[in-house]
Amino acid sequence: MAFENLTSRFQMALRRITGKARLTESDIDQMMREVRLSLLEADVNYKVVKEFTDEVKQQAYGEKILKGLNPGQQVVKIVSDELTKLMGETASELKLNPSGTTVILMVGLQGAGKTTTAGKLANYIRKNHDKNPILIAADIYRPAAIEQLQTVGAQLKIPVFEMGKTNPIQIVREGLDYAKTQGHNVVIIDTAGRLHIDDQMMDEIREIEVISKPNEVLLTVDAMTGQDAVNVAKSFHEALHLTGCVLTKLDGDTRGGAALSIRKITDVPIKFSGTGEKLTEIEVFHPERMASRILGMGDIMSLVEKATAEIDEAEAMSMMEKMMSGQFDYNDLLKQMKMMKRMGKFSGLLKMIPGMSTMANVDQIDDSQLAYIEAIINSMTKAERKNPELIERSSSRRNRISEGCGRSTTEVSRLISTLDKQRKMMRQLQNMNPQNIQNMAQGTYQPRESRAMRRAKKKSGGY
């Protein structure tokens, strides 16, 4: 919905500012306005957005624009890098006590998913850390909360300690003793959901923290939380010694900006994410993935980042060798297109194919046209695909192909000339020195591609 608007607005902004060597203040301001909107749309807290954009602005000003990126993309890159840095660059693990008992305290608002997460976490720790967990049911307030935990425990075959609706402090105390006598080395305490402004309930959780001396205090937060995430995280962080966060319901279509707000306000790492209703659906949280989800400019980022990651390196390399040798045929073109498809449907990536950018109006080629090209190639015989000259010479072959795929002969001819151009260009490339290729890369190629080319050259011994 609104998100699509933003993306297109963003692209507009990208288009407006191109062709400069360094980022100017107005470039940055323009782009940052769009970044700001995007972050707000993702539910990142207003104040956090403000601070963040101000910081990035400072950083971006005067920055040299990397080869192959336009100024807009450069800003996005800086934003994305900073966002990743802010989210924490690596995943943070649980602090498990190697010899003694590990106590994990689950806290959060009502309905965030504490009980489900407690079960998922117990299962995760048992499986990945070879421990013997037990759950303590300390939510005596919500009707059937104890039973919910018992059901979860039964499904996972993990014991649940409960004492009905007695004092939660007492439940925790006796639960910890029980765990010790039964040889459980991980204890996960499920507590009642509570509002951060409910003093009485916050006192209770503080007391539970004091007597249970937890190794981990995990704040469970709904990924759909809006601006209020900051208040919640701050209050819980002030009251308790939070060691981490669990972001639940991340399998929904929310952008999850709350993650950024919480991280920025509390500096507590997000350790896990809940990714489904099944009790196995919990994952170690990957901050770098979250950064691009929040920014919501995945497609633009792709042009900048994704190209190398998704293409199979070896495949790309052999493709390059083929191109360099001037033996490039329709089979290769098809393969190349499939590679592109895997990277995502971005017509912008067409520019990566040498010679393609000279085809009429690359920007207007939509993804359906990619399908047409594929259809044309599929209508060729195997011999024709291998030997492009066959089609070039014979109009009856062209007519047959055109009928076979349902595209006009003009389109078929256009494809033929494209391939021809590519082959010619490739032959020229062979005679160039690396310096020239690099210069060319700045104009026609995406930067990552040119890097891949350089690597390809290295492999084949250079020339």
Partner 1 sequence: MGLFQKFFQNKERKQKAEKYKIGMMKTRQGSLSSLKDILTKSKAINEDLFSKLEEIFIMADIGIDTVIEFIEELKDSVKTLQITDPLQLENLIVDKMFELYLKDEIINTNIRYNQNGLTIILFVGVNGTGKTTTIGKMAFKIKQEGKSVMLAAGDTFRAGAINQLKVFGERVGVPVIAKEAGSDPSSVIYDAIQIAKKDKVDVLLVDTAGRLQNKVNLMNELNKISRIIKRETNNQPYETYLVIDATTGQNGLSQAKIFSEVTDVSGIVLTKLDGTAKGGIVLAIRNKLGIPISFVGLGEKLEDLEYFDIENYIYGLFADFFQG
Burial of 89: CB neighbours in 10 Å, binned 0-12, 13-18, 19+: exposed
User: Looking at 8, 58, 97, 155, which residue binds partner 1 (CB under 8 A)?
Assistant: 155
Among 7, 11, 33, 37, binds partner 1 (CB under 8 A): 37
Interacting residue with partner 1 among 143, 164, 183, 462 (CB under 8 A): 143
- Quick check: 197 binds partner 1 (CB under 8 A)? yes
Q: Tell me which residues in 253-282 interact with partner 1 (CB under 8 A).
A: 253-255, 257-258, 277
Least separation in angstroms between residue 33's CB and partner 1 is 11
CB within 8 Å of 132: residues ≥ 6 apart: 126, 183, 184, 185, 186
Straight-line distance from the first to the last Cα atom of the chain, in angstroms, rounded to the nearest whole number? 51
Which of 107, 134, 139, 111 is closest to 218 using CA atoms? Answer: 107
Nearer to partner 1, 122 or 304 (CB): 122
Candidate ranges 219-227, 310-318, 343-351, 376-384; the one touching partner 1 (CB under 8 A): 219-227
109 vs 376 by CB, closer to partner 1 = 109
What DSSP element (H or E) covers 57? Answer: helix 46-60
Estimate to the nearest angstrom the gap between the alpha carbon of 90 and the chain centroid.
13
Of 12, 66, 195, 309, the one binding partner 1 (CB under 8 A) is 195
Residue-level length of the chain: 463
SS (H, E, C) 339-377: HHHHHCCCHHHHHHCCCHHHCCCHHHCCHHHHHHHHHHH
Interface with partner 1, residue 439, by CB under 8 A = no
The verdict on 191 binding partner 1 (CB under 8 A) reads no
Angstrom distance (rounded) from CA 357 to CA 348:
9
Size, binding site for partner 1 by CB under 8 A: 49
Q: Minimum Å distance from CB 306 to partner 1?
A: 23
DSSP code at position 198 = -
Could you give the CA distance from residue 146 to residue 23 in angstroms, rounded to a whole number?
Answer: 58
**Shortest CB 81 distance to partner 1, Å:** 24
Among 12, 66, 144, 432, binds partner 1 (CB under 8 A): 144
How many alpha carbons lie under 13 Å from residue 417 in its C-beta half-sphere?
A: 9
**Ramachandran class of 271: left when φ > 0, alpha when ψ lies in -120 to 50, beta otherwise:** alpha
| Pair of tokens at residue 32 | 């940052």
121 lines the binding site for partner 1 (CB under 8 A): no
> Among the candidate windows 11-19, 150-158, 168-176, 209-217, which touches partner 1 by CB under 8 A?
150-158
- Binding segment for partner 1 (CB under 8 A), chosen from 112-120, 207-215, 312-320, 378-386, is 112-120
Per CB under 8 A, which of residues 89..108 are in contact with partner 1?
none
Binding-site ranges for partner 1 (CB under 8 A):
1-2, 5, 37, 40-43, 45-46, 109-113, 115, 141-145, 147-152, 155, 195-197, 222, 224-229, 231-232, 249, 251-255, 257-258, 277
